Structure 1
Amino acid sequence: MVGREPERALSAPAAVRSRVPLGLLLTLGGTVALILSVGVAITLGPADVSLVNVRDVLLNNLGLPDVPVRAAKNAIVWEERLPRALVAACAGAGLSVCGVVMQSLLRNPLAEPFVLGVSSGASTGAVVIGVLGLGGGILGLSGGAFVGALLAFGLVLVLARFTSGGTSSVVLAGVASTQFFSAVTSLVVFAMADSDETRGVMFWLLGSLEGMRWDDVALCASVVTTGTLVCLLSARSLDAFAFGDDVASSLGISVARTRVGLLVVTALLTAALVSVVGAVGFVGLVVPHAVRLLVGQRHARVLPVAVVAGAIFMVWVDAASRTLFAPTPLPVGVGTALIGVPVFVALLLRRRGRA
């Protein structure tokens, strides 16, 4: 028995080392899969576009070897499908990061922007600006969505504080916040918007990637990149939060300041994405759990893999949503909900079984 102790001592570090390359391998492999997914998704649709066409259009617009490209193909790929696919990838990546961070900070596997009402609050803020025009000259659509997201999450924290304060209270408070802000949004739309505005707003609220432009890509990419970097720099703090506030505080982490700062980052990420693509739910619930099953709990590994996995997930959900029901596209939020709700129910049943 004594002779086996060195083997045990060596086996644990070896196991840890073997998992570090796994996270890197999945990130690099996922990046390649994401590039291929975007390329294939661009070819899907009523117009006949091949991967060769996609390559030629990219080379042409990036100023690389001049390749003759038809104007129609260039318009379809460069002006329509590529921005849409890139915004879908950014949305999936950002919402996945939000889910990872919220689940760690709140120590609740059910936490994500949609479930906690942040997406509904952001939708309300954006609709108030877009339909009523209140503060539009100061805030803009993204600013209104950000304020709405902060108000929604503040309401969740207040409601949870005045109840038992447990993780289940946070989820229940999120449900209440979601219903309240959804009701406010519906009231504003049906009372103040005309029929055309109502149809457009309701489709957008279900998650829409129609009409994406390159400025939408720039907004989403910059916000997601910045937010992800901030969260990656806080990966060790997120690891500590998973063991509770006392453990995090004993490790020298400013619990209140770190929690508030990271929650503001997730609110900003959610608000920016909702202002562009609408209230897409359950991405931040499904992807983090799948990633943790692959790479474990350390956030230095979870966050990068979640970024590429969430991006791939949204690219393919969007591709399926716009092709399976052509010529009328299905709102992308419906597609994520069809996948996310069964996962949500499974997690609830799993938690009940452990209780």
Structure 2
Amino acid sequence: MSGSTFGNKFKITTWGESHGKALGVVVDGCPAGLPLTEDDIQVYLNRRRPGFSQFSTPRKESDQVEILSGVFEGKTTGTPISLMVRNTSQRSGDYGDIATYYRPGHADYTFDQKYGFRDYRGGGRSSGRETIGRVAAGAIAAKILKKLNISFTTYVSSIGDIVSDPADFDADYISKNELNMPDAKSCEAASAYLSDIMAQNDSIGSTVKCIVSGVPAGLGDPVFDKLDANLAKALMSIGAVKAVEIGDGVMVSENTGSYDNDGFHIENGIVAKTSNHAGGILGGVSDGSDLLLTCHFKATPSIACTQKTINKSGENIDVSIRGRHDPIIGPRAVVVVESMAAITIVNALFDNMSARMDKLVEFYK
């Protein structure tokens, strides 16, 4: 299977399956001398681990990370960093009958068509547990970015038709609730709504927003390697994401040019913008304002209510998916979105170091 590697100068390759012995990632291109410990990475993995919320799968996994290479005496060596998380709570027997039919909304049918073979235990490589490797690598990328004063505010902005009000936004509240929502009012309403959905053996979609602050102007290229194009690819590669927006996103098709254009002005001697409808990117290149990213997640496809499908013999059947599944994806995906954005931005920073001759001369002088 190809396609498990992402990035150019800062490159990650994830590996492993949801019910295999372990999952992990190899990170290549991390500079030497970055202080890094397993605790630094564990903080990020704890944000996505299962079994610690009434709104997540009951599968209990500690998701303890092990650094296998690339770190010596607490600092990166500049060589590939290999990270591993062992699976400790597999119940592959829950998935035995899935081998005989195709689950609606899953990759079962498409895997069979592509490979003629699939790991049906929880979805194998297409399982949400694959994102462990992304998050572990994202923790490293985020630490690099922190050194450059680039920071993230990532949260669930909607669950179903319940949308958080920007007027009630409280960044400190995001980490204090199980749904990672930015205000108590929307969180309370969404919790009640989600409980009703779960009682119906169903699931619901959600939206995750990511604000990246401190990104310098000049990242990205104007044609095929646009920063927004690379961010869109990174975020769309997350299994359940069905749409990505930059800035005003789909609303731009309803806006006039006079509204949509962000004006420039000088503020305290620095170039600034009067608005940020573009989401921090113009012509594929960052403009120095906040990057505004939005990801739309579909509802979890594994649901216990009856659905129609076919088996491998081509017969029409009814199925009810059993096992341990999240009723919603967004809350645990917040850190995945943040990680993929961080990896993309680090890669853009490294690519950009050779964009200008004067900067190259300055660096090597």
TM-score normalised by length of structure 2: 0.30
Choose between structure 1 and 2: higher helix proportion: 1
If asked which structure has higher relative contact order (CA below 8 Å, sep 6+), I would say: 1
TM-score normalised by length of structure 1: 0.31
